[in-house]
Amino acid sequence: MRYALLVLAPPQASAVHRAAIALCEAAIAAGHALPRVFFSDAGTQVALDSTVPPGDEPSAREGWQALARNHGVELIACIGSAVRHGVLDADEAARFERPAATLAEGFTLGGLGLLVEATAAADRALTFGGGAP
């Protein structure tokens, strides 16, 4: 089975990220395909290199980076949402005349077309986060 994942939860919703990462790990271990995880809205904040989680919580960003590193999963942050949250790659930092990129290693900025592509190719599409406040 092929999965597409959309993550909308901010990094402070660490339980949501832990559950999403655990599902990804279990799906991959069971032989399912998960080529890409797409982060949008507040979920793009997980790709911000400068965030530091509370000392008693694991880093959501590091969990996603490990998933990408260990399993070749693409981590795509929606470029529109990312820019609004201060997540910039080198090109966007230059375009907005900012001193440095803030995109964490292992993440890439991309458009919604990548989410549509992943969803169209998937047998199942799952969303984490995005509930009413």
| Residues that are catalytic | 78
How far apart are alpha carbons 13 and 9 in whole angstroms?
6
